[in-house]
Structures are given as C-alpha cells and as structure tokens.
Amino acid sequence: MTESVEERTDQPPAVSAEGSGALSQLAQLFQLPPTHPLFEEAITHPSLANEQPGISDNQRLEFLGDSVLGFCVSEHLFARFPAENEGSLTRLRSQLVNAESLARWGMQTPIPEVIRLGKGADENRLKQSLNVIADAVEALIAACYLYSGLSGVREVCASIVEFGLEKGHSGQLDPKSELQERVQAHGAPSPIYVILETQGPAHQRWFRVQVCVSGQPAGIGEGRSKRDAERDAARKAIEAGWPLPDPITEPPNGE
C-alpha cells in the first residue's frame, strides 16, 4: 500500500478539466493526439525530467525543430516574396525565427498553461520565459513533423511566419542593429556587450549579457545563446530609452 502511494507522488500533477482543454487545443494546433508520447515530450521542461528519471525532456525535439522550422520558413518566404534577394530573405527569416519572435507567437497559444515543469522550478518565471516558450515551440514543431510529416508542419510554420509579418517584423531592425544606429546617431562609440554569467551544460547553455553605452550599463539580457542574450540586452536598453539624451548644460556667463 505504501509503495503505491509513493509511486503516485512521483508522477506529474493531475491535469484539471480546464488544463485538459488547453492540452487538446494545443495538440490540435500542432496536429498531434493529446496523449501521444511525442506531444508529452515536447511540452516537458528539463526541470521535470531532472526530478523524475525516465521522463524525456523536450531538448532533443527542440534541436530537430530548429532545423525543420528554418527550412519551412525559408521555403515559405521564398514563395511569398519572389522579388526579394537572398540578403533580405535571410534577415527576414532571422527576425521571424529568433527566440523573441517564437515566444511572442507561443504566448498566444496554450503553451504557457500546459508546459510541464518540475516542482522545484520557478513556475511563474519559467512560464513567461522567452527561451522556455521558444524551446517548446520548436519541440512541438519537431513532434508535428515526426507525426504528420512536412505537409502538416508547413501549416504550423506558415502560421508563425504570418503572425510575425502581421506584427510588423518585416519592417523592424534587429534590436542590436537598432541600438547601434541610435548610438551612432548620437556620435557615441558602438555598444559593448559583456558576458556576465553562463550556466548549464554545453547542450543547454544559458548566457547573461550586459550591454554598455558610452561606458554606462544600459541593459541586461538572457538567452540560450550569446547572440540571443545580446539581442535581449539591446532590446531592454532600447526600451529604457538608451542612448539617453545629452544633459542640458548652462551656457557660460555673458553668452
């Protein structure tokens, strides 16, 4: 009797009726049965797998999904913008598939509600984390590809592209490029990015980066790659109003 109680304690929390509805909605969006092992794996964060040996997290699927997404988005943009050159298409693809854009799309799906986290995880922070949501999106794309093939996953990736285009990403600069242009317009030297911290094993590395403008700290960002962390830091610097306007000085007496 005691053994059965301990076994139940080790299992993930039971899903509520409301949560079950969200699971079904998300599974349908990615053309997967809600009880399929690929779907369960895709929404399992490493924090849960670390606590419960034998459960697979979504990192392997995320690895595959990154490549599948890149191909499908490239194919979609190639067909949608026949007059654009390679450079323009590359920049646009980069803006549409980076962690920030994927997380923005993922936030308007049930992913934050159904992501499976460990008991010791900071649930509120992780469910709003750009990288956690972006990883889940890519993992679900891989699961969709493995279950439904290219025809099915193309529909999902097209939805991500169109969502990004509707939000105006096609006309937006990368945050690092935008900050660079703002700083140059003020006649200041280029921003400097400094790695403050790295965490995790090689295949799950996290970076914390600070951007400095004119020698002053302007923003701190985090990401699963150095580039993503730098972009996040630049975005926060822009949101904070950097580069700040030059201080107003009083003219010398007599002028």
Buried b or exposed e, range 167-196, using 16+ CB within 10 angstroms: eebbeeebbbeebeebbeeeeeeebebeee
What are the start-end ranges of the H helices in 52-195? 59-80, 86-97, 99-107, 111-114, 123-126, 130-166, 175-185
The Cα-based distances of 157 to 191, 232, 235, 242, 246 in angstroms read 34, 23, 25, 34, 44
Angstrom distance (rounded) from CA 47 to CA 44: 8
Compute how many other C-beta atoms are within 10 angstroms of the C-beta atom of residue 121: 19
Positions marked catalytic: 66, 138
Q: Kindly state the helix (H) or strand (E) to which residue 55 belongs, with its residue range.
A: none
